[in-house]
Amino acid sequence: MLIFGATTVNTNPLQITVIGVVIAVVFLASIVGVLGWMLRLPKETERTRTATKAVRSVNKLTRILVPLLNRSEATDRIVALATQMVLQRNGHVDVLAVIEVPFTLPLDAHVEEDEKLALEALDRAKSVAARCGVRNGTRITKRILKARNAGTAIVREAEEQAVDLILMANTPVRVRGNMQQVPPVVEYVMKNAPCEVLVLSQGHLTAIANRGVPESTEGKTIAAGTLT
């Protein structure tokens, strides 16, 4: 403030006016509103609760059993699916090749041809898992099990290992018109498994493809369910 005689001059640059106060209040309110909109949690609905529950239940599937029932593209795909699932969930895959020993032989009998096929199936599964980035002994174990009945052995293995999910490849054993017959092993596991079962099926057109129709016409479906 400068004083020249009797004259007073106000040099304070801060001038508070009504319009300035209104603009400041509006600006502050807009910032608070935007921040509130960005930070507020969405209202939980029945749909979001159901989706969250489904995601959490799937994320708990960390111990997976994969029985090798046959050598096929479906089996390779089921091994690949299992290994990719455990990679995302820090889980483990048990790859199991079951040799059915007839009652006419002791359970520990040496069945050379079946053992050879089982070893080949395990090596093939190991190669598929390796392509997916999984190494034997870290995320995947493989072994051979001799049993009288493959279905019973798979269910017992699932119980003893406390697995969360069984992944199986289904290859229909017979086709009658448009009907397929589920292999007895797959049917038994689906009915008696202590956990969820996921079955990959190549569909009816696989049988047609084997008779000369181009492979591109194959139909592939996935069936899943919780069996008790």
Its pTM stands at 0.66
Alpha carbons within 13 angstroms on the beta-carbon side of residue 147 total 15
Query: Beta partners for 170?
Result: 201
Q: 197 by DSSP, 3-state: which?
A: strand
The CATH T-level fold of domain 54-226 is Rossmann fold (3.40.50)
Q: Which secondary-structure segment (H or E) carries 168?
A: strand 165-170
* pLDDT tens over the chain, length 228 residues: 545 555 555 555 566 777 777 788 888 888 887 777 777 766 677 777 777 777 777 777 889 999 998 888 888 999 999 988 888 888 899 999 999 988 888 888 888 888 899 999 999 998 888 888 776 556 888 889 999 999 999 999 999 999 999 999 887 665 556 666 778 899 899 999 999 998 887 655 444 344 443 333 333 334 444 433
Instruction: For residue 53, give the amino acid letter.
Output: K
Where are the domains positioned within the chain? Answer: 2-39, 54-226
Tell me the helix, strand and coil percentages in the chain, rounded to 5.
45, 25, 30
Alpha carbons within 13 angstroms on the beta-carbon side of residue 200 total 20
